[in-house]
């Protein structure tokens, strides 16, 4: 039930409980000391009365009128408080105390001892303690002290409750700001007032809102950039289809038409027909090359056919054939073994971008490509000994910026920096998906990321080319 209460209600309940406990403890101490006080008064009055009686007894025996002397003795004894002196066997009603205390309180603070009996010639005298007046006075003191303490406690409770309420008032504003953040209103700002702790929380909420607003803007820019990149890619594909595949198709169609006319003509020369067929076949082969290049740019076939390690080796082999003057060092142990599809494709794109930049812009003599694994992360490094990055800010083209966004979207990091000895290092750290629930992994038929032998690799390549 308590956990259903608000913080203000809990603090008020705790404060009220502490005040009530303190009030009860104070009243208990007063009652505890009241017993000792009443007993001390009763004992003192009883001793005084006994001394009075014992001092009067010699005069009582020598008096001419012993009864008158006894009456004077009893009159003097009745003026004593907290004690009653009477002749044994005679009943004497005690006057009621002013504002008498409750019976339970009287029984709690005082237990009457046996009456003291003193023998006289006129009969025995009984001396009994009767501290009713003292008990009534103590009870009245306790009642007034309890009323005063209750008033002070009530005033303190009201004052502290007001202070607590004012102190906790910023919680409502902070809660409202968090609710608006939850609803997507990133322009909200919490008022920084109240205690230093609430001011610190408000500043953190405002910083969180500013960060979420910035991230929301970055997401919008990223979405627009993705749309722009997709449109650019479509335009590039359309241009390739129009500029490269279109002419081949037109030439093939024209060649087929010419061949059909020659075949239909009388006295067609078989040698000329074979020559036309060879030309058409050459056009088709060139068309296949263009088609493979476009498909490789969209999605590298070697990656899905042979795994990441062999795909990177094929990529490096292509650059070696193009730039034989540049040495390419490979260390691809981390690329072998199952890797989820998205991570493998991203690692390939990073290596492709790094090698492209190294060969086109760095004027390097040696380029190194390494892929390593460290726990659950895959690291791709492309290092060259070229001229390095320019000193102008904002280095890196659209390709590197797009690659950085792609790596960040997978929970990784991409860094590009000059090396102290010269050259540039492009490094990407990618998070490997766990086997459970991961995307389909790239690996060869033997489960190691490679095909068992070169013959099977070549057969897959030939099958792919024939299908294209």
| Three-class SS state of 329 | strand
137-161 core/surface letters (b: 16 or more CB in 10 A; e: else) = bbbeebeeeeeebeeebeeebeebe
Helices 196-240 & 132-182, crossing angle to 10 degrees?
A: 20
Helices 132-182 & 7-62, crossing angle to 10 degrees?
A: 170
Q: What angle do CA 143, 149, 152 make, to 5 degrees?
A: 145
Would residue 82 be called left, alpha or beta, if left means φ above 0 and alpha means ψ between -120 and 50 degrees? left
Q: pLDDT band for position 398 (50/70/90)? A: low
Strands 366-374 and 339-340: unpaired
Q: What is the pLDDT of residue 366?
A: 92
Percentage of the residues of the chain whose pLDDT score is greater than 90: 8
Q: pLDDT band for position 90 (50/70/90)? A: low
Q: Which residue has the higher pLDDT, 320 or 437?
A: 320
C-alpha 19/C-alpha 15 separation (Å) is 6
Given a cut of 60, whether residue 457 has pLDDT beyond it is no
Q: Which residue has the higher pLDDT, 201 or 124?
A: 201
Element (H, E) at 262: helix 246-264
DSSP assignment of 393-445 equals: SS-S-HHHHHHHHHHHHTT-EEEEEE-TTSSEEEEEEEEPPPSTTPPPEE--T
C-alpha 88/C-alpha 128 separation (Å) is 11
Q: Using one digit for the tens of pLDDT, what is the confidence trace for 246-271?
A: 888 888 888 888 888 878 777 777 88
**What are the structural domains, with CATH classification, of the chain?**
2-157 (no CATH), 184-298 (no CATH), 300-467 (3.30.565.10)
pTM: 0.47
- What mean pLDDT do residues 298-326 have? 82
Q: Using one digit for the tens of pLDDT, what is the confidence trace for 12-28?
A: 888 888 988 988 898 88
CA torsion sign for 255, 257, 258, 259 is positive
Q: pLDDT band for position 445 (50/70/90)? A: very low
Specify the range with the lowest mean pLDDT, choosing from 114-128, 179-193, 329-343: 114-128
Which is nearest to 98 in space by CA: 133, 130, 131, 129?
Answer: 133
Q: pLDDT band for position 456 (50/70/90)? A: very low
C-alpha 83/C-alpha 94 separation (Å) is 10
Given a cut of 80, whether residue 319 has pLDDT beyond it is yes
C-alpha 287/C-alpha 391 separation (Å) is 43
| Three-class SS state of 63 | coil
Q: Using one digit for the tens of pLDDT, what is the confidence trace for 161-207?
A: 888 888 877 888 888 888 888 888 888 888 767 778 888 888 888 88
- What mean pLDDT do residues 92-100 have? 55
Q: pLDDT band for position 425 (50/70/90)? A: very high
Q: pLDDT band for position 371 (50/70/90)? A: very high
Residue 88 DSSP class: T
Which is nearest to 281 in space by CA: 262, 247, 263, 255?
Answer: 255
C-alpha 377/C-alpha 334 separation (Å) is 10
Given a cut of 70, whether residue 393 has pLDDT beyond it is no
Element (H, E) at 330: strand 327-331
Q: Which residue has the higher pLDDT, 430 or 289?
A: 430
Q: What is the pLDDT of residue 430?
A: 92
What value does the mean pLDDT of the chain take? 79
Which is nearest to 433 in space by CA: 347, 332, 353?
Answer: 347
Q: pLDDT band for position 464 (50/70/90)? A: very low
Given a cut of 90, whether residue 372 has pLDDT beyond it is yes
Q: Which residue has the higher pLDDT, 410 or 437?
A: 410
């Amino acid at each position: 039930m308590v956990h259903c209460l608000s913080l203000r209600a809990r603090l008020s309940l705790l404060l009220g409980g502490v005040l009530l406990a303190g009030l009860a403890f104070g009243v208990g101490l007063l009652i505890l000391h009241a017993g000792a006080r009443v007993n001390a008064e009763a004992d003192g009055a009883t001793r005084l009365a006994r001394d009075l009686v014992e001092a009067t007894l010699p005069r009582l025996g020598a008096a001419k009128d012993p009864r008158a002397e006894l009456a004077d003795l009893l009159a003097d004894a009745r003026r004593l408080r907290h004690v009653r002196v009477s002749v044994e066997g005679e009943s004497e009603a005690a006057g009621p105390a002013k504002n008498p205390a409750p019976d339970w309180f009287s029984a709690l603070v005082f237990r009457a001892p046996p009456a003291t009996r003193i023998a006289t010639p006129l009969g025995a005298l009984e001396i009994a303690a009767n501290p009713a007046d003292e008990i009534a006075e103590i009870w009245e003191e306790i009642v007034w002290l309890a009323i005063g303490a209750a008033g002070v406690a009530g005033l303190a409770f009201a004052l502290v409750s007001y202070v607590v309420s004012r102190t906790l008032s910023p919680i409502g504003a902070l809660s409202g700001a968090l609710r608006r953040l939850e609803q997507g209103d990133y322009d909200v700002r919490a008022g920084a007032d109240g205690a230093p702790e609430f001011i610190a929380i408000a500043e953190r909420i405002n910083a969180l809102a500013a960060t979420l607003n910035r991230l929301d803007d970055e997401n919008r820019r990223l979405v627009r950039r993705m749309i722009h990149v997709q449109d650019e890619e479509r335009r590039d594909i359309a241009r390739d289809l129009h500029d490269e595949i279109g002419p081949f198709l037109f030439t093939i169609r024209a060649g087929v038409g010419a061949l059909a006319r020659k075949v239909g003509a009388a006295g067609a020369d078989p040698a000329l027909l074979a020559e036309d067929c060879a030309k058409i076949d050459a056009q088709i082969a060139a068309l296949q090359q263009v088609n493979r290049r476009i498909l490789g740019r969209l999605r590298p076939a070697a990656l899905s056919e042979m795994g990441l390690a062999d795909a990177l080796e094929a990529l490096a082999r292509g650059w070696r054939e193009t730039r034989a003057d540049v040495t390419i060092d490979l260390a691809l142990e981390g690329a072998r073994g199952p890797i989820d599809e998205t991570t493998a494709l991203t690692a390939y794109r990073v290596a492709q971008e790094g090698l492209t930049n190294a060969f086109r812009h760095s004027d390097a003599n040696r380029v190194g490509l390494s892929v390593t694994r460290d726990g659950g992360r895959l690291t791709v490094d492309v290092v060259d000994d070229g001229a390095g990055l320019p000193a102008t800010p904002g280095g890196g083209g659209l390709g590197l910026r797009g690659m950085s966004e792609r790596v960040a979207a997978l929970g990784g990091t991409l860094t590009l920096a000059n090396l102290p000895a010269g050259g540039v290092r492009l490094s990407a750290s990618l998070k490997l998906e766990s086997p459970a629930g991961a995307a389909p992994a790239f690996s060869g038929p033997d489960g190691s990321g490679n095909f068992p032998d070169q013959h099977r690799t070549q057969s897959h390549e030939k099958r792919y080319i024939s299908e294209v």
